[in-house]
Amino acid sequence: MHPNLTLLRTYALKDPLTLPASILFCHSDRNMTIYDAYPKSMFHFLVLPRASSTSNKLASPETGGGVVSQKRLPLASDLSSLRTLLNSKNVDKQGAKDILTSMKDEGMKMKNEIEREMEKRYGFVWDVWMGFHGAPSMEHLHMHVISSDLVSEKLKHKKHYNSFHPKLGFFLHIDEVLTWFDAESTYYQNMIKHPFSKYEPLLKVPLSCFHCHSEQKNIPTLKKHLQDEWFRLQSQNERKKRKLEVHECSLLNDKVEIKFIVP
């Protein structure tokens, strides 16, 4: 396998503190969050479960900020992909759910960070998606935390866009995956056995806007359309803010008038 395809596994096996700041955003005793090297949206991060090459290695406790209990890291071989984890003989169903729930918790922290940065940079907040690719292109389980704009110079091909389209089925939202654990056993078994070949044809379906569902003839046309959709969303939020400011000003003026007319 090409070294680039196993790069995420390499990171997951390392002590996070040895990773440069250009790669690592933050980490906990169970997960690490890194910058996506080829972001497909304005904000794009990956949450990786930390891993061990042996069954005896423990996660190092965090330094400072209180006591963190040591947890045994899962084997890297059990974390090749979502499908690998859910079919592992070394990780039971509850253990797999715990790993995914921990990743979601980490993703929610990242989502909050992204929303604060959205407000700071652009003056409004839009959706953030969290989920997995049905047929991942890289080795090692990773959850995308990505802003719902898909406006990026790195988005160059149909497969890039379709892999993140929120309704096609290739992008598996974390909340959807977690519902599998509470479903009937036959449904759960069916979902975790789906081969990559089930998802791969979805990358080739015609391009359509996830906002308005209109078909787009090619990637350049789609990217312009998505940029226009984002500008429209930005304008809508600016109008809402102005209306709110006028309303608040009106309320303030009413209070001032009352103050002067009441004896």
Q: What is the pLDDT along the chain (263 residues), one digit of tens a residue?
A: 455 899 999 999 999 999 999 999 999 999 999 999 999 999 999 999 999 988 655 455 544 333 334 468 999 999 999 999 999 999 999 999 999 999 999 999 999 999 999 999 999 999 999 999 999 999 999 999 999 999 999 999 999 999 999 999 999 999 999 999 999 999 999 999 999 999 999 999 999 999 999 999 999 999 999 999 999 999 999 988 887 776 666 666 655 554 444 44
Write the CB contacts of 71 (distance below 8 Å, at least 6 apart in sequence). Answer: 29, 30, 58, 59
Q: Is the dihedral of CA 99, 100, 101, 105 positive or negative?
A: positive
Strands (E), the chain: 24-27, 31-35, 44-49, 128-133, 143-147, 171-173
Per-residue model confidence (pLDDT) at position 262: 45
CATH 3.30.428.10 domain range(s) in the chain: 3-205
State the DSSP string of 143-168. Answer: EEEEETT---TT--SHHHHHHH-TTT
Residue with tokens 């039971």: 92
Per-residue model confidence (pLDDT) at position 240: 85
- The rounded distance, in Å, linking the Cα atoms of 154 and 176 is 27
Q: Are 80 and 86 in contact (CB under 8 A)?
A: no
Q: What is the CATH number of domain 3-205?
A: 3.30.428.10
